Structure 1
Amino acid sequence: MQPYYRNNLVQLYTGDALQLLKSMATESIDVIVADPPYFLSNGGFTNRGGQKVPVNKGDWDQVTEKYQTSEEFNATFLNEARRVLKRNGTIWTFGSLHNIYEVGYLLKKFGYHILNNVTWQKLNPPPNLSCRMFTHSTETIIWARKYPKVPHFFNYNLMRRYNHGKQMKDVWSTPVIQQNERRFGRHPTQKPLSIITRMIEASTTPEMTILDPFVGSGTTAVACQSLQRHCIGIDISPDYLAIAQRRLVNQLTP
C-alpha cells in the first residue's frame, strides 16, 4: 500500500485503521499511541471559545453497521494492537469517562498489564453548559504493556529530571492546546504536543517504531519526528492527513 506521505522517519497511511492493522506483521511495533473515538457524536452541544457548538465530530466518531457498538470497535482494535506489539511493547490509550472504563476492561480481558492510569488535567477546560454537574476538566491516559511479566522500557531518569529530581506523578497538568499547534488546520480531538512528547520520551528509545492508528492531524508524528523516532500513522480522513503533512513539512523547513 502506498503511503499518503513519507519521509525518512514518518509514514502516513489513509484507511480504516482496524482493517490496516490486520495487514501488519505480528510483533512489529514497539509502542502504540492511540486516541480512539470516544463515540460522543450524539447530537448534543458543547462550548468552544464561549460559543455553543454541536458536539458531533464526524462519521468516524459514531458507531456503524460494521462496528455496531463501541465495545465491538474497541475490542477489535485492542486485540489487533496486542498482536502487532512486540513482546516488550506498550500501548498508551486516551479516553474520557465516556469510554475509558470500557477500554480498561478490555485491556485486562485481552491480557495486557496496566502500568499507569495517567490523569491529564486541563488547565483551561470549557465550561459545562448544562450547569447540572461539575465541569469536565480531565481525560485519562492508560499505559499498559503486552505481558504482565515481560519488562518494558521506561525512561525513569529522564522523567525524574524533568520533574526537578523527584519521581514524576501520574497527574499531568497542561492547557488544552496551544493555538500555534492548529495553525495548519483544526482537528476536534487534537491533543497537546507536550503531552504526546512526554509519552514518547518516557516509553521509547530512538531505534523504536511507534504506531498511531488514529493519527488525526499528526501530533504523534510531529513529536516522533522532533525526537528522531520512526512513526507509522493511520487515519481514515485524507483532510486530517493533509494537516499532518503540512505540520511535518513545516517542522523540517529551516
Structure 2
Amino acid sequence: MKDRAPRNRTLTLEPDEFRKLSQRLVKLHQKVALAEILNKTLCQDLLETLNYLPRNFVDLMIIDPPYNLNKNFNGRKFKQLNDEEYAAWFDTWISQLKSLLKPNASIYVCADWLTSAALYPVLKQHFQIRNRITWEREKGRGAKQNWKNTCEDIWFCTVTNDYYFNVETVKLKRRVIAPYRTDEGKPKDWEETETEKYRLTHPSNLWTDITIPFWSMPENTDHPTQKPEKLIAKLILASSEPNAVVFDPFLGSGTTSVVAKKLGRNFVGVEIEEEYCCLAEKRLALADLDASIQGYSDGVFWERNSLSDQNNSKKNISSSTQQSSLSETQMSLL
C-alpha cells in the first residue's frame, strides 16, 4: 500500500472491498444475450470475450488501448513494437469489434502522437474517419532535447454515413474578455448574469480545457493511463442518446462506464486486470451518491481555470469528502 498525503483523494481498494466487488465481475464462457451483460464489468481477455458477445448491440464504442510504449499495467506489461507490428496487433481485434456495432454507431479511438500515425490506415480500412481530436494533457515531464509532450489524439470514426451527433450538448462556456454591445447596450453574441459574462461556443477538434486526474481529484485512481471523466463525457454526450449502449473494450479503472452511468446511458466494459475492474465497480457505486463530473455543470462544459469552474471544483472537492465517509456504508451493502 502506497503512503498517501493527508489530503490525497485517490481511490483505493481495501482487501474487504476487493473481495466483495470482485463478486460482481462477469466472465463469459458461452454466448450471451445483451441483458446478461448490460451495465456489467467483464473481467476477461478481450479476444476471449469477443467469442461470446452479442452482435450489433453497440451505439458508441470508446477505445483506449495500450499505446505503443513500454508500459506496466499493475504488473501486466505491454512492450513497444515497431509501427507495422503495432498496426497488425491493433487490426487483429478492431476487425472483430466491427460485428458488435450497430450500422449507425460511432467509434472513438485514443492514441498518443506516435501511435496515432500507425492507427490511421487501419481505421481507414474499417470505418469512415470523421475527424481527429487533439487534446492537451496538463501533465508530462519536460525534455532537454525535444518538445515536452502534452497532447494526445482521439480518432472519431463512424460505421456509415448515418450516425448521431448532437453539437448542442458539448458547447463550451467561455468567459467574455471583450464584451461588445449593441447600440442599445445589450450583449452582442454573449450572455450576462450578475456574476459573469460568457458565451457558449461550438466545440472544435482542439481541446485545451481538460485536466488530467491527479491526487486531489475524487475520480483519481492509480491506473497509469486513466482518462478524465470530462473528456469521456464530451464523447458520450456528442455521439449517443440517453439509454444508448456504450462499449469500452479496454475499460481500465472504469471511466467510460462511470461517465455513461452518470449521463443516463447503458454500458458494457471489458478489462483483463481484476484490480482495475474492482476499482471500476467501486466508482460505479460512488456514482449513485454523486453523479457530478468535474468541469461539466448546468449542461455545459467550463473552460479550464475559469472562476466558475474553480467554484464548481470546490463543490466537487467538498462532495468527495462526503463520498469518503459514505463509501464505507455503501460498501457494507454490497
TM-score higher than 0.5: yes
1:80 aligns with 2:101: no
Alpha-carbon distance in structure 2 between the residues aligned to 1:88 and 1:18: 24
Partner of 1:140: 153
Alpha-carbon distance in structure 1 between the residues aligned to 2:94 and 2:38: 25
**2:164–2:240 contact (8 Å) kept in structure 1:** yes
Cα shift at 1:114: 0.8
Query: Residue by residue, what CA displacement relative to the aligned partner does 1:169-203 show, whole Å, maximum 9, x if unpaired?
Result: 111122222432455x3100001110001110110
Alpha-carbon distance in structure 1 between the residues aligned to 2:119 and 2:107: 12
Return closer, same or farther for 1:109/1:223 CA change in 2, 3 Å cut-off: same
Within a 5 Å distance, the mapping from 1:1-254 to structure 2 comes to 4=25, 10-41=39-70, 56-57=72-73, 58-62=75-79, 69-110=85-126, 112-122=127-137, 124-129=138-143, 131-147=144-160, 150-160=161-171, 164-173=199-208, 174-179=210-215, 180-182=217-219, 185-253=221-289
Task: Specify every segment of 5 or more residues in structure 2 that has no aligned partner in the other structure, as ranges.
Answer: 1-22, 27-34, 175-198, 291-334
Aligned residue for 1:98, secondary structure, equals helix
Alpha-carbon distance in structure 2 between the residues aligned to 1:26 and 1:203: 20
Alpha-carbon distance in structure 2 between the residues aligned to 1:165 and 1:212: 30
Return closer, same or farther for 1:3/1:113 CA change in 2, 3 Å cut-off: farther
Aligned residue for 1:196, secondary structure, equals helix
**2:245–2:268 contact (8 Å) kept in structure 1:** yes
State the structure with bigger RCO (CA 8 A, min sep 6), 1 or 2: 1
Task: Specify every segment of 5 or more residues in structure 1 that has no aligned partner in the other structure, as ranges.
Answer: 42-54
| Percent of matched pairs sharing the same residue | 25
**1:27–1:85 contact (8 Å) kept in structure 2:** yes
**1:119–1:141 contact (8 Å) kept in structure 2:** yes
Query: Residue by residue, what CA displacement relative to the aligned partner does 1:60-116 show, whole Å, maximum 9, x if unpaired?
Result: 52379xxx9322221022111222111011111000123111211101122x11111
Larger radius of gyration: 2
Q: TM-score, normalised by structure 2?
A: 0.63
Aligned length, in residue pairs: 231
Alpha-carbon distance in structure 2 between the residues aligned to 1:35 and 1:97: 14
Residue type of the alignment partner of 1:206: P
Query: Residue by residue, what CA displacement relative to the aligned partner does 1:104-159 show, whole Å, maximum 9, x if unpaired?
Result: 1101122x11111000112x222234x11100010000010012xx3110012222
Return closer, same or farther for 1:253/1:9 CA change in 2, 3 Å cut-off: farther
Which of 169-178 and 206-215 deviates more? Answer: 169-178
**1:3–1:13 contact (8 Å) kept in structure 2:** no
